[in-house]
């Protein structure tokens, strides 16, 4: 295996006043990996063949657990707004192993970014912090739509009113062709998420001692997973039911949005 990457972090105090302060932390990482060799069988001296699974392959010169499928082409030849099986062509030969399969992309995010902004207000009595993060540089199988459309002719890709042509084409390629393929159900894994917002109020010591008989107190409000910006067409690009090395989706919920309130007392 060859693994290489880079990490970068920048911290800065943007503004520092008695009534208002602003600090920021920017983190970025990029990673690439490649299977250099699978080695040789110690008994025969013959090179170990590629490891081929349903959606992933271990192939020399390509990333570990990379996604592979047969590509296809399509066209609305008669311009009637309906894609039929004869208007879809799935590749059956070609590719590194001449079985029609081509490399789609990484199965794990290669690029990650996080941006944290912190604000101190009212002479440091109130601290507000916001975290936004990004993940990209990979693909993810939209198994929700793919499974439903492969198993049923009433899939939303083809049974809804005026479905987009590319959606019709990927459903037909996954269900009505021989060989079938889920090439376009491996969508780009790319999103920004408003991950966390917190606000911490430091209670004045005299109030803490009089009201709750403590030497000090802080009250914290938190909210997580507030919003996501993505072109992912299923429920959530972080949905996952798998305990293995690759993410798996099938009618699975993403991270929930939730709120917390916490009171810390110091005695």
Quick: pLDDT tens for 133-190: 999 999 999 988 888 888 766 687 877 778 899 999 999 999 999 999 999 999 999 9
Which of 125, 131, 119 lies closest to 20, judged by CA?
Answer: 119
CA dihedral 252, 254, 257, 263 (to 10 degrees): 100
Between residues 229 and 161, which one has the greater pLDDT? 229
Whether the pLDDT of residue 223 is over 80: the answer is yes
Q: Name, of 26-40, 136-150, 155-169, 194-208, the range with top average pLDDT.
A: 26-40
- The answer to whether 111 touches 139, Cβ cutoff 8 Å, is no
Which of 263, 262, 21, 258 lies closest to 126, judged by CA?
Answer: 21
- pLDDT score of 193: 98
Q: Any idea which residue has 């890709």 for tokens?
A: 157
- pLDDT score of 153: 64
106 secondary structure, DSSP code: -
CA-CA distance, 52 to 70, in Å (whole number)?
14
- pLDDT score of 152: 65
Percentage of the chain modeled with pLDDT above 90? 70
Question: Would you tell me how many other CB atoms lie within 10 Å of the CB of residue 176?
Answer: 17
Angle between helices 165-175 and 143-151 (to 10 degrees): 60
Could you give the strand order of the β-sheet that contains 111-121, starting from the edge strand earlier in sequence? 2-16, 20-34, 111-121, 126-141, 186-203, 216-230, 258-266
- pLDDT score of 76: 94
Residue 21 burial (10 A CB sphere; 0-12, 13-18, 19+) = middle
Q: Specify the 3-state DSSP secondary structure of 253.
A: coil
Average pLDDT rounded to a whole number, residues 197-209: 84
Give me 145's structure tokens.
């739509």
User: Which range among 2-16, 62-76, 198-212, 244-258 shows the weakest confidence by mean pLDDT?
Assistant: 198-212
Whether the pLDDT of residue 245 is over 90: the answer is no
Whether the pLDDT of residue 214 is over 70: the answer is yes
- pLDDT score of 150: 82
Average pLDDT rounded to a whole number, residues 96-120: 96
Q: Specify the 3-state DSSP secondary structure of 87.
A: helix
CA-CA distance, 87 to 74, in Å (whole number)?
6
Consecutive H or E run containing 166: helix 165-175
Mean pLDDT of the chain: 91
Cis peptide before 179 (omega within 30 of 0): yes
The residues near 106 (Cβ < 8 Å, ≥ 6 apart) are 63, 66, 67, 137, 138, 139
Q: Give me the residue spans of the domains in the chain.
A: 2-266
Whether the pLDDT of residue 122 is over 80: the answer is yes
Whether the pLDDT of residue 208 is over 70: the answer is no
Whether the pLDDT of residue 48 is over 70: the answer is yes
User: Which range among 76-85, 112-121, 128-137, 189-198 shows the weakest confidence by mean pLDDT?
Assistant: 76-85
pLDDT, one tens digit per residue, over 247-261 is 888 878 889 999 999
CA-CA distance, 152 to 156, in Å (whole number)?
10
Whether the pLDDT of residue 244 is over 80: the answer is no
Between residues 248 and 91, which one has the greater pLDDT? 91
Whether the pLDDT of residue 68 is over 80: the answer is yes
Beta bridge partners of 266: 216
Percentage of the chain modeled with pLDDT above 70? 97
CA dihedral 224, 225, 226, 231 (to 10 degrees): 170
């Amino acid at each position: 295996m060859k693994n290489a990457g880079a990490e970068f972090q920048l911290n800065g105090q943007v503004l520092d006043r008695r009534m208002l302060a602003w600090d920021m932390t920017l983190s970025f990482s990029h990673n690439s990996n490649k299977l250099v060799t699978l080695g040789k069988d110690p008994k025969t001296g013959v090179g170990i063949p590629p490891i081929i699974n349903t959606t992933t392959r271990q192939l020399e010169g390509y990333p570990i657990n990379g996604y592979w499928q047969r590509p296809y082409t399509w066209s609305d030849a008669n311009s009637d707004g309906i894609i039929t099986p004869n208007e879809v062509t799935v590749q059956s030969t070609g590719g590194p192993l001449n079985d029609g399969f081509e490399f789609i992309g990484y199965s794990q995010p290669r690029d990650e970014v996080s941006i944290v902004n912190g604000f101190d207000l009212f002479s440091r009595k109130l601290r507000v912090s916001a975290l936004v993060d990004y993940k990209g540089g990979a693909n993810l199988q939209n198994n929700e739509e793919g499974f439903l459309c492969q198993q049923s002719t009433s899939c939303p890709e083809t049974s809804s009113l005026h479905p987009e042509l590319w959606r019709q084409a990927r459903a037909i390629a996954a269900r009505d062709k021989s060989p079938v393929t889920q090439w376009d159900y491996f969508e780009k894994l790319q999103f920004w998420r408003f991950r966390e917002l917190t606000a911490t109020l430091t209670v004045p010591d005299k109030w803490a001692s009089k009201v709750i008989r403590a030497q000090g107190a802080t009250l914290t409000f938190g909210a997580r997973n507030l919003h996501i910006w993505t072109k992912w067409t299923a429920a959530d690009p972080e949905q996952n039911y798998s305990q293995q090395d690759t993410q798996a989706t099938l009618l699975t919920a993403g991270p929930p949005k939730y709120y917390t309130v916490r009171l810390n007392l110091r005695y």
